[in-house]
């Protein structure tokens, strides 16, 4: 089954590039045509070389048919962009242009303007004027202005400009890719977790997404009526038996399941994984089997599985389906991960989605379970924490639904990493599988049985933990913590891990401290975290998350990203420059959700 052939319904959004120009003919405009179009072509080349869609293909740009010197050419560019499925807009110019006549007026498209820093023509003057127009009209845009003066004939893009162009485009594409997609709620609220109370108004107003719902009885219906591909099921089951090693059963002897029941549970959890994927994106094979309606799927770019407790009290848990779908490989080979939130925590699912769209890498779902102080670790184990962990650790662990990519068994230059699927080798995928055992679920938690993935994340990986919270009267708020995974001596890990459920995957995380606010200490990070879950992405992507949040008008309540890396719309500075966090709140409240 060629998943990529049907998974991405419709074409990916493109980035529109608008070369604006001084409209005065008979000398001025003519002298600037080549330079202006070269700026547009240079940006398109930069983006194609550095950014990719989730299927691994290069991001596509559409350049306006002509330079834009007035409202007629603005309208022509807008019409072309509409036909070409443009979801992100970048305006470039080396000169003065007529601001309100040449600006992009689309209210739901992220906009940026690069004004060339050159002394021959006043590109900076246009940049300031048009950004003022964007603010006045309530259409906030990002301003890009190189630090150093360039010569008028150069075609080079300065490094600082490249960084802002790519940061904007990366976040803008994430915004555009979510629009029109769905969050699929598989079940309802899990154990009273607020994040699994799916807010359709949040998804609609802030992300431009639908919310779709199925009852968990749909799994029983599909299993009982054979609404899955039986050929793929047999292949998947054979692959699981070969690659998913079963770990030690920690249940008391009298509660352990028979071999026959465990084999039956494996069959069930494999079917559940197939069904969850088909529910999200559809499956053309179901048409051949007589299930044309089910073959459509729900156009879900992200989903959540309730599981506990109405399902897991009598059926195998969802750990396998969540872990394998969130991974970059399965019985069909190496492929893009699906985004599935444990316990239907839609708010954690959203930040998993944001991290995925920014990096094209799998995301770790975990409880932010325990803060271990250096003194507590030394008291319990005799080990003195050092290095990244000197200030203490956060134990990130949950029922085994974390992506297997999170083992850290993929490598680059000899270091553990998490990669986009097109960079992962067969050997790396196998190492991730080999580093994972599937432990019979604790029946005290999961009466219906099942299997939980168990692995330990390798240390030394830069990581970003994030979380979205909804606050009554305020709306959504994002939290971000950059840091590193930490590797403890095996005996120290074992001692600490056995104090919780050792059948679940562990990531030891040390947030980077700034000495201020929520990052004065590791304890303060834990104490200020807004919910029980977090999403962990490979890499330090806090700056991109902040840029993306500003596009969606979601304020950031805590982060440890250096000030010089922050990139928000220019209008944010009009709400105050001395304290960017407060200005962010005021700007987001003023402009309101992107799609409302």
pLDDT per residue over 19-60, tens digit each? 999 989 999 999 999 999 999 999 999 999 999 999 999 999
- Residue 152, pLDDT > 90, answer no
Task: Count other Cβ atoms within 10 Å, centred on residue 489.
Answer: 10
Whether 256 has a pLDDT exceeding 70, the answer reads yes
Percent above pLDDT 70 for the chain? 99
The model's pLDDT over 546-576, given as tens digits with 9 standing for 90+, comes to 999 999 999 999 999 999 999 999 999 999 9
Confidence label for 4 from pLDDT (cuts 50, 70 and 90): low
Annotated binding site: 343, 367, 533
Residue 499 in this model has a pLDDT that exceeds 60:
yes
Q: Catalytic residue positions? A: 343, 367
Q: Which residues contact 31 (CB under 8 A, 6 or more apart)?
A: none
pLDDT (tens digit per residue) in 423-436: 999 999 999 999 99
* Residue 78 pLDDT class (50, 70, 90 cuts): very high
Q: Which pLDDT score, from 0 to 100, does residue 77 have?
A: 98
Binding-site positions for Mn(2+):
343, 367, 533
**410 has which bridge partners?**
417
* Of 314, 316, 276, nearest in space to 298 by CA: 276
- What is the model's pLDDT at position 1? 46
Question: What is the per-residue pLDDT across 209-233, written as a single tens digit (0 to 9) for each?
Answer: 999 999 999 999 999 999 999 999 9
Q: How would residue 2 be classed by pLDDT, with cut points 50, 70 and 90?
A: low
| 395: pLDDT strictly greater than 60 | yes
- On average, the pLDDT of the chain sits at 95
Determine the Cα–Cα distance for residues 356 and 53; give it in Å rounded to an integer: 11
Domains of the chain: 12-178 (3.40.50.1070), 182-591 (3.20.14.10)
Q: Which pairs count as long-range contacts for 100-103, CB under 8 Å and 24+ apart, including other chains?
A: 100/130, 100/133, 100/137, 101/23, 101/70, 101/71, 101/74, 102/18, 102/20, 102/21, 102/68, 102/69, 102/70, 102/71, 102/73, 102/74, 102/130, 103/74, 103/130, 103/133, 103/134, 103/139, 103/141
308-340 confidence digits (pLDDT tens): 999 999 999 999 999 999 999 999 999 999 999
Token pair of 176 as six digits:
């555009």
Q: Which of 299, 280, 395 is nearest to 341 (CA)?
A: 280
Q: What letter would DSSP give residue 68? A: B
Question: Does position 5 have pLDDT exceeding 90, yes or no?
Answer: no
Q: 278: which 2 tokens?
A: 């088909």
Q: Is the pLDDT of residue 151 over 90?
A: no
Against a cut of 0.85, is the pTM above it? yes
Handedness of CA 347, 351, 356, 357 (dihedral sign): positive
* Interaxial angle between packed helices 259-281 and 217-224, expressed in degrees from 0 to 180 and rounded to the nearest 10: 110
Q: How far apart are CA 54 and CA 61, in angstroms?
A: 16
């Amino acid at each position: 089954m060629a998943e990529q052939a049907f998974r991405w319904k419709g074409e990916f959004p493109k980035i529109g590039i608008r070369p604006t120009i001084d409209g005065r003919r008979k000398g001025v405009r003519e002298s600037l045509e080549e330079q202006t179009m070269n700026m547009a072509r240079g940006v398109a080349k930069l983006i194609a070389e550095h950014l990719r869609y989730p299927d691994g293909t290069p991001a596509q740009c559409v350049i306006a048919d002509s330079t834009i010197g007035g409202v007629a050419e603005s309208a022509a560019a807008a019409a072309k962009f509409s036909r070409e499925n443009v979801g992100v807009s970048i305006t470039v110019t080396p000169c003065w242009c007529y601001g309100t006549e040449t600006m992009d007026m689309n209210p739901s498209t992220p906009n940026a303007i690069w004004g060339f820093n050159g002394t021959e023509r006043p590109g900076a003057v246009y940049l300031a004027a048009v950004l003022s127009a964007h603010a006045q009209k309530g259409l906030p845009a990002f301003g890009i202005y190189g630090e150093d003066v360039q010569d008028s004939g150069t075609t080079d893009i300065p490094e600082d400009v490249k960084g802002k162009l790519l940061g904007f485009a990366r976040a803008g594409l994430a915004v555009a890719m979510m629009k029109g997609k769905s969050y699929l709620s598989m079940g309802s609220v899990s154990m009273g977790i607020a994040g699994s109370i799916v807010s359709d108004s949040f998804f609609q107003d802030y992300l431009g997404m639908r919310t779709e719902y199925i009852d968990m009885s749909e799994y029983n219906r599909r299993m009982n009526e054979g609404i899955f591909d039986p050929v793929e099921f047999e292949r998947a089951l054979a692959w699981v038996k070969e690659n998913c090693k079963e770990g030690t059963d920690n249940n008391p002897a009298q509660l352990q399941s028979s071999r026959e029941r465990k084999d039956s549970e494996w069959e069930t959890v494999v079917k559940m994984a197939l069904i969850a994927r088909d529910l999200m994106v559809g499956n053309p094979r179901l048409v051949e089997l007589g299930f044309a309606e089910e073959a459509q799927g729900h156009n879900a770019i992200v989903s959540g599985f309730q599981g506990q407790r109405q399902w897991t009290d009598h059926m195998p848990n969802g750990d396998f389906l969540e872990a394998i779908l969130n991974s970059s490989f399965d019985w069909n080979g190496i492929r893009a991960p699906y985004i599935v939130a444990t316990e239907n925590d839609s708010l954690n699912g959203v930040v998993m989605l944001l991290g995925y769209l920014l990096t094209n890498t799998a995301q770790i779902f975990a409880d932010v379970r325990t803060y271990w102080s250096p003194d507590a670790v030394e008291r319990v184990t005799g080990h003195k924490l050092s290095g990244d962990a000197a200030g203490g650790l956060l134990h990130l662990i949950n029922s085994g639904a974390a992506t297997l990519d999170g083992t850290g068994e993929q490598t680059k230059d000899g270091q553990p990493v998490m990669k986009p699927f097109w960079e992962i080798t067969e050997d790396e995928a196998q190492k991730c599988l080999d580093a994972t055992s599937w432990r019979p679920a604790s029946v005290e938690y999961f009466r219906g049985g099942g299997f939980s993935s168990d692995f330990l994340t390798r240390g030394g990986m830069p990581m970003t933990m994030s979380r979205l919270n909804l606050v009554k009267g305020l709306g959504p708020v994002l939290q971000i913590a950059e840091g590193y995974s930490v590797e403890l001596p095996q005996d120290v890990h074992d001692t600490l891990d056995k104090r919780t459920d050792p059948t679940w995957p562990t990531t030891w995380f040390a947030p980077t401290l700034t000495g201020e606010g929520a990052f004065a200490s590791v304890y303060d990070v834990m104490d200020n975290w807004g919910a029980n879950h977090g999403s962990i992405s490979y890499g330090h992507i806090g700056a991109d998350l902040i840029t993306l949040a500003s596009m969606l008008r979601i304020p950031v309540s805590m982060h440890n990203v250096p000030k010089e890396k922050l990139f928000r719309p220019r209008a944010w500075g009009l709400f105050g420059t001395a304290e960017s966090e407060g200005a962010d709140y005021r700007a987001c409240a003023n402009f309101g959700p992107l799609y409302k």
